[in-house]
Chain A
Amino acid sequence: GNSVTQMEGPVTLSEEAFLTINCTYTATGYPSLFWYVQYPGEGLQLLLKATKADDKGSNKGFEATYRKETTSFHLEKGSVQVSDSAVYFCALSGAQGGSEKLVFGKGTKLTVNP
């Protein structure tokens, strides 16, 4: 079946450090890939997405590239801020047999210290 695997957390970084959160997926067909972010006490909100191979999604300094050959969608940011502290979820949808339903990874908690 369709699934998403992302790196276990928690991840703790100092302000201005480089961030990578790994995400790989298993899916048939041509899924769209998403990163959602959940700030403390809030619901999820879309951070970025990519709908086809080699697309790069970007937002708020975060980037992720849809790599079909490695079935990956790793999240990166060059210089994190304290305000980036949140839980990050990788997700896919549009896979064969799954249509628009989102399949989530388990989430990675990021804490950024000043």
Chain B
Amino acid sequence: DAEITQSPRHKITETGRQVTLACHQTWNHNNMFWYRQDLGHGLRLIHYSYGVQDTNKGEVSDGYSVSRSNTEDLPLTLESAASSQTSVYFCASSEIWTGTDTQYFGPGTRLTVL
């Protein structure tokens, strides 16, 4: 069965370190998204991609970057981790452009920045 996976599931790091969160999907979807989930804020979009070599900034992109070198993967990098980036991160993917399509979510990565 097709799926979307994230790794690691839990990560503790220190302020100032570079961290990369992995997202891998086997749906062969063109669109991939990264969200962060914080209490009182719901989910907020960090970055998204409509295909290979395409990346776009979302609502809360400062301090984060992504790259899309193939269809299956969209890694999220925190260049210099800050305590404000402690959160749960979700990756998602969808097939088509129209806005009617379902997004499929990964299980999440809980990141703690000390």
Contact = CB atoms under 8 A, between A and B. Distances in A.
A85 B1 CA distance: 27
A100 B45 CA distance: 12
Top 3 A-B pairs ranked by shortest CB distance?
A94-B99, A43-B105, A106-B42
Interface residues of A, number: 24
A46 B58 CA distance: 21
Contacts of A95: 99
- Tell which of A31, A98, A107 has the most Cβ of chain B within 10 Å: A107
Interface string B19-33: 000000000000101
A8 to B, nearest CB: 10
A32 B99 contact: yes
Contact of B99 (A45, A46, A99, A104): A99
A101 interface: yes
A102 interface: yes
- Tell which of A32, A42, A49, A101 has the most Cβ of chain B within 10 Å: A101
A105 B42 contact: yes
Given A100-B94, A106-B42, A44 B99 contact: no
Q: Size class of B's contact patch? A: 20 to 34
Secondary structure type dominating chain A contacts: loop
B107 A43 contact: yes
A93 interface: yes
A25 interface: no
B107 A31 contact: no
B42 A100 contact: no
Contacts of A100: 31, 94, 96-99, 101
